[in-house]
Structure 1
């Protein structure tokens, strides 16, 4: 069965004659494994002027002989998920994502503060966000109440929440329903079971990994690779080990409030148009918290993140 491609069927050439459309399904250094609309795959190297490739990028490439290609252009992105490099500079991790699936589990203990950071990233990309409670069969009387309370807080923000596990028949159905019409990426702490979810969603995962490695000529697929897979039930899934933890050091603190969706309507009612929702008089966001319309924990989380971003300004070069 030919591989499905999310690119619209079209002739594999452009007005330039020797340029062809493609999708990056794996990125490594200056090289990338590119998929054509027909489902063929070839290894391509980017032109020197192209400095920021990501898995999920739509590109144009030209033939370079021996089944190889050269990436000539990266087409405009609908969205991009970034992470800081070793110097603290933002680098693209995955592009054209429209859904961020935040995976958590009873163990390690989920933290609302980390979920807040992922939700901020989703709001600003922009992309839809959903919470996936994996290993739901391991909930116990000791942890169920706290986890349910935390999930209820996010459900109140109209963020979808699904509970799944890989042990029971049909237990992944809620997740496959979320995935079928989106290009998604799984994010979350180490140990929450992202790899087990990928293996369950892609029954022939190891075979697919081998096929990709053979197609790229790069040898064995490594844990540092970010790879896009076409799901058998529809939708695409980007698997990346680079999102085990998540920080917002590259974010301008003036953008932070935009990542808290429940602030939007109230912020327009603040006394000062540039209210930071810290301790300013006439802050409508604080008034909404006092009235019970906004979570006090979420406002405190925002203020802590604001202070961290403010402290980090001017020091990014030290990372």
Structure 2
């Protein structure tokens, strides 16, 4: 599938203008006509968003019951995991039982760039990100590096999970060695590595312990088995899964709406739609560099202040790689991300 072309600023403005025009001219449906007066609502109470559906959201109250609510127009952003103030209606109107009045300040938010919406929040108030990769489809360290950069930008603790370890015997010894070498690089940097298989049940109990007392999110390309892991961790949920496409070797999206689940042993999990590519084009080169935490001792030591860290003379990162103080594979991954940032900027300038 061809990569979606980034919209120009002019195209984005026209899309927003058309969207606003449609909203103004739209004949409201019965659900849209639901208007709550203060006398129709109970007292304000706390809740957490367990799922979001367009202009509605499911709110879990402190007693554990879930209510579908409208959003006040003043709420500009609402995602799974948000803590809110809401009011229960005295009567249910067209399946809507209340109104979300305000959103508390987020302790953390995981976002990704979107060609239509700019930087788009995915989930809020997360304490750890589980970056899931797998033996099949092919292990991809570049995608892991992108998620690590995103995690470091948010300050949310990342944990790397290698899934489908029951399939290790189905790949070559060379491929196994490459995976082991790359995981050792992450371990040496200081990242935690977990191994799991929903088929053999290896590592499931260790993964469940890691999730306890945290609000976590699984991220990773489609097909790595995120939903299968959720099924293994919470078998009563029956989350749908799909097999890896036999034609493309890529995974097929299974989760369509982000949702928050509770573990009986403690801890919460936000299951979010799969993301094939996790773009970083909204970040500056400096932010990307800071996402490679082992580069920190060498930042600012390059001969030239505008060093691009590619083939520039006197580059401190290249020197550190040559001296084996940092991984040449991680440096190459960093350079590919920087190149992708430049490509997006050139495309944007050309289209504008």
The bucket for the TM-score relative to the shorter chain is 0.7 to 0.9
Aligned residues: 290
Question: Structure 2: how far apart are the matches of 1:33 and 1:112?
Answer: 36
Partner of 2:102 in structure 1? Answer: 73
Question: Structure 2: how far apart are the matches of 1:262 and 1:62?
Answer: 48
Aligned pairs for 1:51-130 within 5 A: 51-66=76-91, 68-87=97-116, 89-130=118-159
Aligned pairs for 1:261-280 within 5 A: 261-271=293-303, 275-280=307-312
CA RMSD of aligned residues (A): 2.6
Checking the alignment, whether the CA contact within 8 Å between 1:132 and 1:162 is kept in structure 2 is: yes
Partner of 1:4 in structure 2? Answer: none
Q: Deviation per CA, 1:27-86: give whole Å up to 9, x if none.
A: 111211011122121111111221221101111112333252222211111221123335
Question: Which residue, out of 160, 167, 176, partners 1:138?
Answer: 167
Checking the alignment, whether the CA contact within 8 Å between 1:81 and 1:94 is kept in structure 2 is: yes
Partner of 2:204 in structure 1? Answer: 172
- Stretch moving more, 110-119 or 186-195: 186-195
Checking the alignment, whether the CA contact within 8 Å between 1:43 and 1:69 is kept in structure 2 is: yes
Give secondary structure in 2 for the equivalent of 1:243.
Answer: coil
Partner of 1:204 in structure 2? Answer: 236
Checking the alignment, whether the CA contact within 8 Å between 1:186 and 1:194 is kept in structure 2 is: yes
Structure 2: runs of 5 or more not aligned: 1-41, 240-253
Checking the alignment, whether the CA contact within 8 Å between 1:81 and 1:93 is kept in structure 2 is: yes
Question: Structure 2: how far apart are the matches of 1:295 and 1:139?
Answer: 24
Pair member with larger Rg: 2
Checking the alignment, whether the CA contact within 8 Å between 2:255 and 2:274 is kept in structure 1 is: no
Question: Structure 2: how far apart are the matches of 1:69 and 1:24?
Answer: 13
Question: Structure 2: how far apart are the matches of 1:157 and 1:199?
Answer: 31
Change (3 A) 1:316 1:54: farther
TM-score computed with the length of structure 1 as normaliser: 0.83
TM-score computed with the length of structure 2 as normaliser: 0.75
Partner of 2:315 in structure 1? Answer: 283
Give secondary structure in 2 for the equivalent of 1:312.
Answer: helix
Q: Which has the higher contact order (CA 8 A, sep 6+)?
A: 1
Partner of 2:249 in structure 1? Answer: none
Structure 1: runs of 5 or more not aligned: 1-16, 208-221
Aligned pairs for 1:231-310 within 5 A: 231-271=263-303, 275-310=307-342
Change (3 A) 1:244 1:304: closer
